[in-house]
């Protein structure tokens, strides 16, 4: 099994209509076409529902080239003498003396032990964190796309209360694409 993260997916809306969903290139080109047709477009990263701003100026080829350049902006690590570049960020960690003593006895030293502990916690916490992250993503999306719609406040209360039936009831009158996307985002949080 690979530890490589899945590439992020995105969803674009023109008003309350879902334009496209999938990889950034696919969504960006659909958003560009809609924007050229005079539609107001919003793009959301699916995992977080954070909006994604893109430069859609120029031709489709120019947009594609900018996105490819952005994706390739990270250089692959070079092989050679010395330590490989792993994108490591050095930050301060404050621990009690007994923690430092324990870390000093671990194979690979303190840094390797801390990386192992963080990875174990990350893997173990994914299941625990999934409902919270789903609620946060659904909340961001509904605040942006449905904040002025009937039932928004009640739907938000139901979302954070984990009341799936009430959330479904309160979103029933929303435009279909907004309703369906909000429900899909909230599924793991309800």
Residues 58 and 112 placed together within one structural domain of the fold:
no
Domain-embedded: residue 88: no
Same domain, yes or no, for 66 and 101?
A: no
Quote the domain boundaries for residue 179: 97-189
pLDDT exceeds cutoff 60 at 77: no
80: left (phi over 0), alpha (psi -120 to 50) or beta: left
**Number of structural domains, the chain?**
2
Q: Give the mean pLDDT of the chain.
A: 89
Residue 78 pLDDT exceeds 60:
no
Rounded mean pLDDT, 149-172 = 97
Mean pLDDT of 46-66: 94
Confirm whether 84 is domain-assigned: no
170 and 105 share a domain? Answer: yes
Using DSSP's 3-state secondary structure scheme, residue 2 falls into coil
In the listed set 25, 53, 71, which residue is the last one of a domain according to the structure?
71
> 41: how many CB neighbours lie within 10 A of its CB?
21
159 domain residue, yes or no: yes
pLDDT of residue 110: 86
In a domain, 124, yes or no: yes
78 CB-near residues (< 8 Å, 6+ apart): 84, 85
User: Are residues 139 and 55 part of one domain?
Assistant: no
């Amino acid at each position: 099994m690979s530890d490589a993260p899945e590439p992020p997916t995105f969803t674009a809306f023109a008003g309350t209509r879902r334009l496209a969903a999938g990889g950034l290139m696919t969504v960006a080109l659909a958003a560009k076409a809609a924007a050229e047709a005079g539609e107001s477009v919003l793009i959301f990263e699916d995992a977080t529902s954070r909006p994604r701003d893109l430069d859609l100026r120029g031709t489709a080829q120019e947009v594609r080239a900018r996105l490819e350049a952005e994706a390739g902006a990270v250089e692959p690590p070079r092989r050679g003498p010395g330590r490989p570049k792993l994108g490591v960020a050095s930050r301060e960690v404050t621990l009690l003396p007994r923690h430092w003593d324990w870390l000093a006895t671990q194979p690979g030293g303190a840094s390797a032990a801390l990386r192992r502990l963080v990875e174990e916690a990350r893997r173990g916490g994914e299941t625990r964190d999934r409902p919270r992250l789903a609620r946060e993503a659904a909340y961001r999306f509904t605040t942006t796309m449905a904040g002025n719609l009937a039932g928004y406040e009640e739907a938000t209360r139901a979302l954070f209360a984990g009341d799936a039936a009430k959330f479904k009831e309160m979103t029933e009158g929303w435009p279909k694409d907004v309703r369906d996307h909000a429900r899909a985002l909230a599924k793991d949080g309800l």
